[in-house]
Amino acid sequence: MTKERALRFGRAQHLIGVAGLPAAAAPTGSVGIIVLNAGMVYRAGPFRLHVEITRRLNACGYPTLRFDLSTLGDSGASNESQSRAHQIRADVADAMSLLASHAGCTRFVLLGLCSGAQNAHIVTVDEPRVAGAIFLDGYAYRTLGFHLRHYLPRLRSAARWHRFISRKLQAAANQRGDDVFAVSFPPRNQVQRELTAMLDRGLRLHFIYSGGVTRYFNHPRQFRECFGRLADRPEISARLFGGTDHTYALQVDRQRLLQDIEAWLQRNFPTYGGSTA
Amino acid sequence: MIRSHRVYRQLADALAQQGIAALRFDYYGTGDSAGDSDEVDWARCLADMVAAAGELRARSGCTRLIGFGARLGGSIALNAAATARLSELLLWDPVMDGGQYVAALDVLQDALRVDPMRFGEPRTREDAAGQWLGFPVGACLRRQLDTWRAAPPPMPVRVFDSMPPTATHDWNVLLGDAVNVTELPTAASWDELDRLEHAILSPDLIRAVGDHLRVAA
């Protein structure tokens, strides 16, 4: 039986989150899962995605924390003068300390969608307590293969042209300058270098791309096209859920996503009898 | 509730700054509360609201409680207000006719599954069945909503109207002559498919509710 607790925490007692605590106490060295905000959406996630993820993982024995970063959702400002990246690192460090104190876990897997994936990357670069990360629509870069797959079918199909132009026109009509999931990516070389360093530290990394980001990722092979031999290492994996949207608005898509997340965690950070090891 | 979380927080903060105790909560099956999305049940929502009113009374010691609800939250407030012993209702674009609302949500859900901005290829009806705009919906809630119609409550009501001009609402016809209406200058984006992940924000609403309660005090 999992217990969920709403908690106020952080260096300025400014953060709000919900910890999911499975009944069995976590053994030393076990992992807890920390879920970061998706864009500006509060900790429940788009369409309650984060609630569904954390409860499913709780049922497998993983302690979880879904929380709001500084100034998002129910969290306040820490009133520190520091960059957003520093603030995110400090917020997640606070979140890890909180989950450690409540669940006894000492290592953590970060999970984030879109800007949440970006923030998970920022933290994972130099946080020694992070053992793994799941990036939903995280970094990827257009490649020659991407462009061929994107444009060649359109040359042959009037229907695809029609759909492509409809999307462009509708996007232009909808442009209001307030994209809730707007992110900009750092240079590919930098990301590649940072991912390599993470793997060298023994981290496990999983990238899941949705059909909602076909503007920059359109085939599972693209991951290797982006990141080269790095993609061949067994500690890193990637998959594409084509046909879904960016935020998994349909239940059938959310279920596929949840199954994949659970299976990856069980492979890389298995639970035994309701606790993780 | 996901979309209106921010505006509820801003409203509660603003009221607290005016010295007014406020409690915001998630119904069973919504937000952070227990339960799955498809377990949301109308009767349980009413009971949750009565429980929330009791909680606020116990925690704040206040004797006069005012209910605030947006859209379907306004409908629940209308339905549970007497049992919760509320003295006034502040309703933001409340849903007044459950049957019409169910029909409108069905149309939106069907549009969502073929929305080229969301899906590269149209999704099947099976994939989209039993859901409204990202949330699974139980057959029971659907039936309950389908037959629900608002009735004038036995306490004063103020409606904050930010419905688009195309939606004609005669609140007095629906809720009786005693209802007062504050028209907000900006329409809220309740039912726009391209904004399902966007927070509903309304500084006008927060200002208007604050002003109303300041005058009432």
Interface contacts A/B by beta carbons within 8 Å:
84
pLDDT of residue B53 exceeding 70: yes
- Measured on CA atoms in the order B101, B203, B33, A262, is the torsion positive or negative? positive
What CA–CA distance (Å, rounded) separates A133 from A124?
Answer: 8
Q: Does B182 touch chain A (CB under 8 A)?
A: no
Q: Does B13 touch chain A (CB under 8 A)?
A: no
Q: Per-residue confidence at B83, pLDDT binned at 50, 70, 90? A: very high
pLDDT at position B19: 95
- Spatial distance between the Cα atoms of A20 and B137, rounded to a whole number of angstroms: 24
- Residue A77 touches chain B, beta carbons under 8 Å: no
Grouping H, G, I as helix, E, B as strand and the rest as coil, residue B44 is: helix
The alpha-carbon gap from A48 to the nearest alpha carbon of chain B, in Å, equals: 7
Instruction: From B100, B104, B128, select the one nearest B114 (Cα to Cα).
Output: B128
Distances (CA, A) of A111 to A31, A52, A159, B3: 13, 13, 37, 21
3-class DSSP assignment, residue A275:
strand
Helix axes A158-174, A144-156, angle to 10 degrees: 110
Interface contact B170, partner A, CB < 8 A: no
Mean of per-residue pLDDT scores for chain B: 94
Per-domain boundaries in chain A: 3-276
Chain B, 36-65: which have a CB under 8 Å from a chain A CB? 37
In chain B, where do the E strands start and end? 66-70, 88-92, 131-132, 135-136, 157-161, 180-183
The domain limits of chain B are 5-216
Report yes or no: B9 at the A interface, CB cutoff 8 Å: yes
Distance from C-alpha of A78 to C-alpha of B91, rounded to nearest angstrom = 34
CATH superfamily of B5-216: Alpha/Beta hydrolase fold, catalytic domain (3.40.50.1820)
Chain A residues with CB-CB distance to B125 below 8 A? none
Q: Which of A184-198, A261-275, B131-145 shows the lowest per-residue confidence on average (mean pLDDT)?
A: A261-275
Residues in B closer than 8 angstroms to A175, CB to CB, are: none
pLDDT of residue B129 exceeding 70: yes
Subunit contact B197:A181, Cβ cutoff 8 A? yes
Which residues does chain A have within 8 Å of residue B120's beta carbon, measured at their own beta carbons? Answer: 163, 211, 214, 242-243
Query: Which residues on chain A are in Cβ contact (under 8 Å) with B17?
Result: none
Spatial CA neighbour of A36 closest among A96, A107, A106, A81: A96
Q: Does A194 touch chain B (CB under 8 A)?
A: no
Cβ contacts of A44 on chain B, cutoff 8 Å? 2, 5, 31-32
Say if the Cβ atoms of A242 and B198 lie within 8 Å.
no
A135-175 pLDDT per residue, tens? 999 999 999 999 998 888 877 777 777 777 777 777 666 65
Taking a C-beta distance cutoff of 8 angstroms, is the pair B157, B178 a contact? yes
| CA B161/CA B191 separation, integer angstroms | 15
pLDDT at B141 over 90: yes
Residue B198 is nearest to which of A45, A180, A212, comparing CB atoms? A180
A247–B134 C-beta distance less than 8 A = yes
Grade residue B167 by pLDDT with cuts at 50, 70 and 90.
low
CA atoms of A91 and A83, how far apart (whole Å) = 12
For residue B158, list its beta bridge partners: B90, B180
Residue A211 touches partner B, C-beta closer than 8 Å: yes
- What CATH superfamily classification does A3-276 receive? Alpha/Beta hydrolase fold, catalytic domain (3.40.50.1820)
Q: What residues of A are in contact with residue B9 (Cβ under 8 Å)?
A: 73-74
Please give the angle made by the CA atoms of B181, B182 and B188, to the nearest 5 degrees.
115
Q: Of A46, A243, A252, which is closest to B121 when you measure between CB atoms? A: A243
pLDDT mean across residues, chain A:
91
pLDDT of residue B197 exceeding 80: yes
Are A245 and B119 in contact (CB < 8 Å)? yes
ipTM of this complex prediction, to 2 decimal places: 0.94
Stretch A81-107: mean pLDDT, rounded?
A: 96
Of B37, B117, B128, the CB nearest to A48: B37
Nearest to B158 by CA among B211, B101, B99: B211
Query: pLDDT (tens digit, 9 = 90+) per residue, B89-99?
Result: 999 999 999 99
